[in-house]
Structure 1
Amino acid sequence: MKKIGLTSTTFARYDMAKAARKQIEKQVTGVKFIERYVPGVKDLPVSAKKLIEEEGCELVMAFGMPGGEKIDKLCAHEASTGLIQAQLMTNTHIIEVFVHEDEGINDKDLKELMHNRATQHADNVVKMLFKPDALRKEAGQGIREGREDKGPL
């Protein structure tokens, strides 16, 4: 049984972890989810690291919604750096799923973006853990999560 950690923030305005979990459950069985919630994005690195080291998760998805202000973008960068460091310290993938509050045109667009980014990253998790050859086929295709793909050159 694969263990997948989901860690999310209470600041986010949409439950991306729930959407990702549902997306994974639609595709595979034999997965145990361990969920943790923290106040903000800067709390995600330690939460993810604990899911790996204390709970034995084989992969963690970290969800956050930084605000649109300059200080929020700086905090998101610091959180991203912390997630990268936690990956290197644990030799385990942590899939960062951040949606900045100012990425949406309006609330409806923002919610759709958050859902799409979460579920498309969940699809990547399924590929990473269960279907690694699928990622090889997608290399160089300009695929991105949340919005339309860019496509290959």
Structure 2
Amino acid sequence: MTSRKYGVVDTTFSRVDMGKIAISVIRKEDPDAEIVRYTVPGIKDLPVGAKKLLDQGCDGVITLGWVGKTMLDKYSYLATSIGLIMVQILTSKHVIDVTVHEDESEDEEKLVEIAKDRASKHALNLVKLVKEGGSALTKYAGKGLRQGYTHAGELED
């Protein structure tokens, strides 16, 4: 059996330790895998962190960021998202972008719930993609699944 290697890139700006949550899920779902964690200051540093871990042999990476409420924060996230897409294109490997936007809720407890749920569900998605490939999620296609909130549900059978 080939050992898998996962990368977890998180930020010091995040207000919840989503890296710890993602690592816990990955360990549970793929106990023999190697996990490498790389922490950067903020979201604009996530693409290079992801690229470094992929260059070091990770089979896939999850990035975990927190976006503030200002328009400048939103522009920074847009730049980050484009950077993460570029990393995926350059490496042909999955980079699962997990981001909590601080304006998703005024309630800090709700933000914690969103962060935990989103980090957990996306870590599970990463494990499935790394272990089984692109067909691993096909059975969930069109189901209205959401990360961070209750599933929206499908509109047709």
Task: Tell me the TM-score normalised to structure 1 length.
Answer: 0.95
Following superposition, the deviation at residue 26 of structure 1 comes to 1.7
Following superposition, the deviation at residue 134 of structure 1 comes to 4.3
Instruction: Output the CA distance in 2 between the equivalents of 1:134 and 1:104.
Output: 32
2:119 corresponds in structure 1 to 118
Instruction: Output the CA distance in 1 between the equivalents of 2:78 and 2:132.
Output: 30
1:65 aligns to what SS in structure 2? strand
Following superposition, the deviation at residue 6 of structure 1 comes to 0.5
2:131 corresponds in structure 1 to 130
| Structure 1 runs (4+) greater than 3 angstroms displaced | 131-134
Instruction: Output the CA distance in 1 between the equivalents of 2:111 and 2:105.
Output: 4
Instruction: Output the CA distance in 2 between the equivalents of 1:29 and 1:16.
Output: 19
2:149 corresponds in structure 1 to 147
Which residue identity does 1:82 align to in structure 2? G
Identity %: 42
Unaligned residue ranges in structure 2 (runs of 5+): none
Question: What CA deviation, in whole Å up to 9, does each residue of 1:13-64 have, x standing for no partner?
Answer: 00111101111212222110111111110001011001111x1101000110
1:34 corresponds in structure 2 to 36
Which residue identity does 2:125 align to in structure 1? N
Following superposition, the deviation at residue 131 of structure 1 comes to 4.2
Q: How does 1:89-108 map to 2 (within 5 A)?
A: 89-108=90-109
1:74 corresponds in structure 2 to 75
Instruction: Output the CA distance in 2 between the equivalents of 1:59 and 1:134.
Output: 14
Which residue identity does 1:119 align to in structure 2? S
Task: Tell me the TM-score normalised to structure 2 length.
Answer: 0.93
1:60 aligns to what SS in structure 2? strand
Instruction: Output the CA distance in 2 between the equivalents of 1:73 and 1:121.
Output: 21
Unaligned residue ranges in structure 1 (runs of 5+): none
Instruction: Output the CA distance in 2 between the equivalents of 1:109 and 1:147.
Output: 10
2:45 corresponds in structure 1 to 43
Following superposition, the deviation at residue 88 of structure 1 comes to 0.5
Instruction: Output the CA distance in 2 between the equivalents of 1:124 and 1:40.
Output: 23
Q: Conserved in 2, the CA contact under 8 Å of 1:66 and 1:76?
A: yes
Number of matched pairs: 152
Which residue identity does 1:87 align to in structure 2? Q
